[in-house]
Structure 1
Amino acid sequence: MTDATPKIRIRGLTKSFGSKRVLDGIDLDVMPGTSCVVIGGSGSGKSVLLRCILGLIAPDSGSIEIDGVDILTLPARRREGAIEKIGMLFQNGALFDSLSVWENVAFGLMAAGRRHGARMPRAEARAHAGRVLEQVGLDPSVGALYPSELSGGMQKRVGLARAIASQPDILFFDEPTTGLDPIMGAVIDGLIVDCVRRLGSTAIAITHDMASARRIGDRAAMLYQGKLIWQGPASALLDSGNPMVDQFTHGRREGPISMELRR
């Protein structure tokens, strides 16, 4: 792979559920070591896009290349190996309540069937989890607690620690600041940026939070009715020159985006 080759290259991606087309010919490039933020209203297809890349949903057509290889055409085992390069911070943390914090952080490293190296022994995994917790601003002693004993902000940090524990090439963030107050949201965004830079990872985030989008992203793209209607620098989100993007990012009721009210 050369510097000119996107880390993630998506072309012509489509996905429908029944008569509703959720993704309608998505083309997106994310260059190595950069962060791309995807914005859009509820139901615009943001989460479906991530799930297609993760292999959780099969698209109807199109290609998804990682390091120049279309993962949709790979045999199942090789596809799973490619997807194992991805770390994921889920919207609500998605921590396992029955596992301690350190077991959550090291879950992927100890999981059966790891293809990139042998499973990590528990003692080694616990020590590694402690080091990763420190990277997200938590004391290693937090590893002995359970998710129910943590605040929302601490749960987000643990979710981030789990996402970076295997030092992935690619990181996905699903609404990373949802449910957090503005100060904690800024803290989490700062940790995300630090972790991405430290690892040299390529990142995609989906968010409704415009402050978060501008803090996390190098580039940004907006989905509307299944299409990417704008792409540009994340710093230009509030002054894009695109009427739809401007309406969305400024939260204006009036504008070209039609809102369907369900009663």
Structure 2
Amino acid sequence: MSGQPSNATPKIRIRGLTKSFGAKRVLDGIDLDVEAGTSMVVIGGSGSGKSVLLRCILGLMVPDAGSIEIDGRNVLAQSRRQQEATRERIGMLFQNGALFDSLPVWENVAFGLLARRGKDKMTRAQALVHAGEVLKQVGLDPSVGSLAPSELSGGMQKRVGLARAIASTPEILFFDEPTTGLDPIMGAVIDGLIVDCVKRLGCTAIAITHDMASATRIGDRAAMLYQGKLVWQGPAASLLESGNPLVDQFTHGRREGPIGMELRR
């Protein structure tokens, strides 16, 4: 993943995005471009608006103002059917896996494909075979498909969640805190799988995370949200030496700094 900006239309372009809950403005005029084939990592403290940003792009939440373009088309202006078609091009790895306990692993992986209508819908037999192939792509034996999610370790559940995210060969992948709850070694393994999947599919990715090691491993570029605004954007490799006081305090976990002074008021 090169991470180098180009003159082409960004895969995702966000302009003037705002979202409030009562008197609290969670997103305050967000402008963000994500180039095709690159990975963007968004960092920020709890309540900074990272998850709200993802939900707005996914169409799970309606912003108060602004635009969200995918391939140059404003998805907020699309019909419901068009928005559903857009969402089918997106894969999502949820923070806690969000696997369905009542379904075996293979049905979790193929859930979106089984739910499709028309010519794209798979039979259960086809979905079972496809799920096994995708499980292999994330380092799991196809036999895992017959197990229940509760029989899996945390790391294996993350892998299954990743398999489900890539099962439909999406153009865009979203990752919500992909290494939360994992030890450092398993976190590095999951990050490696994410990078491999993004490269293999040639897709565009956005990840939100608190894990700085993860951010620098999976990101081409990075941005930081603070008080509803993007206060810094740059190469993910520069996160730990950004020169921005807010970013430096957050990435190094320092108690003293502009974020701490804000909290003491």
Please, what TM-score do these two structures have when normalized by structure 1? 0.96
- 1:260 deviation in Å? 3.5
Structure 1 residue aligned with 2:192: 190
Structure 1 residue aligned with 2:97: 93
Q: For this pair of structures, how many residues does the alignment match?
A: 258
User: For structure 2, which runs of at least 5 residues remain unmatched after alignment?
Assistant: 1-5
- 1:3 deviation in Å? 6.2
Contact 1:3 1:32 in 2 (8 A): no
Q: Give the secondary-structure state (helix, strand or coil) at the position aligned to 2:69.
A: strand
Contact 1:32 1:202 in 2 (8 A): yes
Structure 1 residue aligned with 2:31: 27
Structure 2 residue aligned with 1:39: 43
Match for residue 162 of structure 2 among 160, 163, 181: 160
What do residues 22-63 of structure 1 show as CA deviations (whole Å, max 9, x unaligned)?
000000000000000000000000000000001111000000
User: For structure 1, which runs of at least 5 residues remain unmatched after alignment?
Assistant: none
Structure 2 residue aligned with 1:123: 125
What do residues 199-218 of structure 1 show as CA deviations (whole Å, max 9, x unaligned)?
00000000000000000000
Specify whether residues 50 and 114 from structure 1 end up closer, same or farther in structure 2 by C-alpha distance, changes over 3 A only. Answer: farther
Taking the aligned partners of 1:134 and 1:252, their CA distance within structure 2 comes to 41
- 1:168 deviation in Å? 0.1
Contact 1:45 1:223 in 2 (8 A): yes
What do residues 91-141 of structure 1 show as CA deviations (whole Å, max 9, x unaligned)?
000000000000000000001x447x4310001100000000000000000
1:44-63 correspondence to structure 2 within 5 Å: 44-63=48-67
What do residues 151-199 of structure 1 show as CA deviations (whole Å, max 9, x unaligned)?
0000000000000000000000000000000000000000000000000
Structure 2 counterpart of 1:5, which letter?
T
Structure 1 residue aligned with 2:84: 80
Taking the aligned partners of 1:140 and 1:80, their CA distance within structure 2 comes to 30
Match for residue 4 of structure 1 among 4, 8, 12: 8
Contact 1:8 1:66 in 2 (8 A): yes
Please, what TM-score do these two structures have when normalized by structure 2? 0.95
Structure 2 counterpart of 1:173, which letter?
F
Structure 2 residue aligned with 1:215: 217
Taking the aligned partners of 2:109 and 2:171, their CA distance within structure 1 comes to 17
- 1:84 deviation in Å? 1.4
1:139-178 correspondence to structure 2 within 5 Å: 139-178=141-180
Structure 1 residue aligned with 2:231: 229
Q: Give the secondary-structure state (helix, strand or coil) at the position aligned to 1:228.
A: strand
Taking the aligned partners of 2:259 and 2:163, their CA distance within structure 1 comes to 37
Q: Percent identity?
A: 80
